[in-house]
Chains A and B, each alone.
Chain A
Amino acid sequence: MAKKVLFYLNQFFGGIGGEDKADFEPEFRAELVGPAEAIAKNFGDDLEAVGVIICGDNFFGQKEDEARAFIAQVIDEQQPDIFVAGPAFNAGRYGFACAGACQVANEAGVTCVSGMYEENPGLEHCQSFAWVAQTANAAAQMRKALPLMANLVKKLAAGEEVTPDDDKYFAQGRRECILVEERGSVRAVNMLLARLNDEEFTTELPMPSFDVVEPAAPILDLSKATIALATSGGIVPNGNPDRLQSASAQQWNKYDISSYDQLKGDFYTVHGGFDPVYCNETADRVLPLDALRDMEKAGKIGKVYDFFYATTGTGTAVANARKFGEEIGKELKEAGVDGVLLTST
């Protein structure tokens, strides 16, 4: 019996409309459209496309419970074996919706396939259980994305082995027990020997890769340097006038400290990830304005920059932290700041 495949698309790729239709209420259609149709063209007799769910990205974002309930209901009715969402490329809302839809399918025991760009914020929400094909960042590369997704659907349906390298999907971070010929100690020694002999070797446990930023050149004359303070410790004026979130920060704030010699008494923390008692007695315990001000008075540094920058570093998405850093760095650069001390709790 053929395995059943159910698709999920947003309003745009589902042919409903653009941004003006982003509130489109989810619908199930037996007739395929767009990327769903294109992927299904590759199917043989062992796969049957049962239809497509089309849902507006804003609808999913704003009425997620309703959208999820609808998807769950369609899955219950159609009983698919495989759920295919996207590709979403680097579209954030669509990526979140695809990830959310996949979560519903996954909970129902359905195998999930999607396609995203590596920086799509939805990726981290489904990477661990879905097979997410690695796509470019824009839909202009649709032609390349669709065969990757079709390949995953076909292989998974047939129970064939897939690997991130061969099948171009994001590694799920799972370890699986497999049988190999040589035991671990032999493989380890062989790997070491290869390494010592400058031969090619492949690690069995790749470490996550982080991009590297070249260290900035040092400050040549501290006595003329403007130094800024920044923190992920959630330091704000008492009362939190800008409503900085206590976790999963969506923003950063800056505060004028040009007339302050210390933070004690006027600032506190809204960070939800550590015991705030000590910081709230003396916020300089987290952001040391008092000591830096004394260095300024002693002429050891030129000046404390007039503003400090703060966000909350607990549960905050890496993508957000990156964005905050970009925005803060731009301001500091334009203000001619020479160096920064950033404290983390």
Chain B
Amino acid sequence: MENNGLNKVDLIFEKIDTKEVLIKAFKMSNAEIIQHMLDSGLKGRGGAGFPTGLKWKYTAAEPSPEKYIVCNADEGEPGTFKDREILDRVSNKVHGGMAIAGKAIGARSGIVYLRGEYRYLLPKLMIELDSFHKMIHEIGYDFNIEYRMGSGAYICGEESALFESIEGKRGEPRNKPPYPTVSGVFEKPTSINNVETLVTAVMIIFHGSKNFTQYGTKDSRGSKVFSVSGDTPTPGIFELELGMTVQHFVNEFGDGDTKAVQVGGASGFCVPRKKFAETIIGFEGVPTGGSMKLFNSSRSMYNVLHNYLDFFAEESCGQCTPCRVGCQQLLKGVEKVKKGESKSTYLTELMKLADTMKIAAKCGLGQSVGNAFKSIVSNFKEEIIY
């Protein structure tokens, strides 16, 4: 790789003729499209990283006559703003990805769930969706997309909470199984994919899966759009080849005084300076939906942790006890230690609570609160106590 281990790629925002790609895809058999995704090694770009080809394969295998493609555009993870940029600049590729996914799994309907904070984009997106529907019609294919808006609930980015919200209910996650591929929105088999995943799928059809596998590593194929913010001279959106270390990343984006990088947002992991060189950004190291926040030595990691815990305490849906009570107790706990009302050894108890939440919480929100908590507390203990 060039440029100190950092390779900039231009796939997501590359200008292509979406119509041509769709014509190419519609000529393939459903199994062929799915095989392309499996060969490419593409994993979901929302953060969880489930193999896209498998998700489509499982949904395709369901016998139901009615199925759905849902595009998860409820981008709420602190520090992530790539999906807004993708929808703003290349919505045609997002809609195209939904149609290709729809063809692969046998769905004629797609729903985009867009977060309420991005409502200002809607008028423009409606015009672009109109021309997309016209184009699909010209090709002689039948696929319809509608938009549903979120209303300011982070938890609705969790797939089953998002389905509940589309159905007009409180966004409370469901028990799994059944998984969405079997019973998703309106209890129909559903493939729910992130905005960036759908665009990547279009590019895999366009360039071929072999072209895609030349980028990245065995566990993290391809490239990814990163949202870079915090203490950096160059905040913004960057598409980079996967496989770099945090050190490579800091060399490019740091301000010369970076002491920690939070990879994957509030639900992700904090990487301290001493681990920059050994930590790979990707599924073999620390995974991310794209959020990369840099902190320099002027920042208090207590404030960072407090901000994240405050966020989770507010955004927990309150349905299950480990998460509802756990988030509150972690927040109160670090406040007490900071004020000297509890001994520093209390942090060990809080670490155990974070472990319990990982095992006992119902959904990804509660299960991942411990990621930031444990990685910040264990690496910056002094800053939490004093």
Indicate whether A and B interact.
no
